[in-house]
Structure 1
């Protein structure tokens, strides 16, 4: 599979030999190297760097993308992940004209999401100098957190400070809950409820009711009909959770329903929901699932989020959800294929 994708404003595509001049232009622009002028590219170093990018794509079938304006096709920068010693290195560098618009953050989130779904065995890291505050903000806004580690890079000057290591949260499969995880999930679920998240309850729901729902999901897990995904930061802090559930009908066992997608409300707007969904898609793929479905409440904004994750609305029951007297919402069903191929109705072409 060739890992190419689009975001709201960018097309992220595999580079070709025709992109060599653009790569050289970006990496030879002194305005883009003010935080480390000693690594400004030369014809020789640029050629070696670009050749290594092409070779990584040839060997691994992923790597650093060319980031193009989605509407015009104009190249704006470079972003992606590359295999390093035991981790995937997140890299981003955009032209000066493209900066200040949040494009690096948008692209970095896409890169971390791709790696979470398709390259789960190695952590995704960004190595950033503390004085490069713009890059620090980009890493943090893409969901990466400081690990406390520091790394000396091969091209660092003798008196240059080491780079801080930022790492993306990772999604792991959970088939059963122990008491510690049960407490973590219950605390997260309650916090998401009270923040207004649409995860089955209204704000202020008693914790006992949430615990009953959690027990019901545990029974499904014990019967082999559900599996969870846990999104954790590098220090182990639980920041996201969701379940895939298999319906009893054997005619539907090639599909799964998504339930209770929740992200720590204190960590919103950092792309963690995208990471969680990417990990859930990986878990479904590893279980040979083909079709994914979910239900959302209209007016919650969730439909737009799931559309970003590749889901399409396939059904709607107007007024089926009564949030409060006089406040009826639509029950919206959305679906996608695990492989990302278009949904096709029976008999369709």
Structure 2
């Protein structure tokens, strides 16, 4: 972030809140992150390279699940441009309704190295606790990208891993690392 481009945050909590312009920026960000090797490939998308035509329906599925009680999209913008985004979900089942899952954390490649990811993760922590009443967050990350160190610096703890659970390419299996963050009451 620069002094000329302060970071702004917004939430999308219902499908109708997503503008066509923001949808285009979200798809562009997702495609660029996936094609740069980012670990944000959802079900239904092929392995990279992917196109906007392939990513747009996947975004539509994510957006279709948005609901203020169960799933929210947190976006960060700088200078009117999308800088990064993520999804925060809660399962409504009473056994796990106090837990949330963070998915699809990404920073647009044009904004890398400016603290966008850190800012998003601090903001989602506040959103989860203060607005959704969550007591803990979970995230699953791909080994080999330094993500466990990134999240570890932000207070997340590794609680397990699935060895070789992610096949990035033939002969390139990576562990899926499960991480946890407690959200104490203020």
Same fold (TM over 0.5): yes
TM-score w.r.t. the length of structure 1 is 0.48
CA distance in 2, matches of 1:329, 1:203: 16
In the alignment, what sits opposite 1:338? 183
CA contact (8 A) 1:245 1:257 kept: yes
Q: Over the residues paired in the alignment, what is the CA RMSD in angstroms?
A: 2.0
Which structure 1 residue ranges, 5 or more long, are not aligned?
1-142, 147-166, 342-349
Map 1:91-102 to 2 at 5 A. Answer: none
**1:299 equivalent in structure 2:** 144
1:279/1:319 CA distance change after superposition, 3 Å: same
Q: d(CA) in 2 for partners of 1:310 and 1:220?
A: 28
CA distance in 2, matches of 1:230, 1:240: 6
Q: How far 1:339 moved relative to its partner?
A: 2.9
Determine helix, strand or coil for the equivalent of 1:321: strand
Q: Which has the larger radius of gyration?
A: 1
Question: If each structure's strand is expressed as a fraction of its own residues, which one has the higher value?
Answer: 2
* Aligned twin of 1:175: 13
2:76–2:120 contact (8 Å) kept in structure 1: yes
Deviation at 1:331, TM superposition (A): 1.1
Instruction: String of CA shifts for 1:221-248, please: whole Å, max 9, x gaps.
Output: 0484210111011x32110100101125
Q: Which runs of 5+ in 2 are unaligned?
A: none
2:39 alignment partner, SS class: coil
What SS does the corresponding residue of 2:29 show, helix, strand or coil?
helix
- Distance, in Å, in 2 between the alignment partners of 1:277 and 1:269 is 15
User: What's the TM-score, normalizing by structure 2?
Assistant: 0.87
Which structure is richer in relative contact order (CA contacts within 8 A, separation 6 or more)?
A: 2
- Cα separation, 2, equivalents of 1:247 and 1:238: 27
Which runs of at least 4 in structure 1 moved beyond 6 Å after TM superposition?
A: none
Q: As a proportion of its length, which structure holds more helix?
A: 1
Asked whether the equivalents of residues 13 and 68 of structure 2 are also in contact (C-alpha less than 8 Å), the reply is no
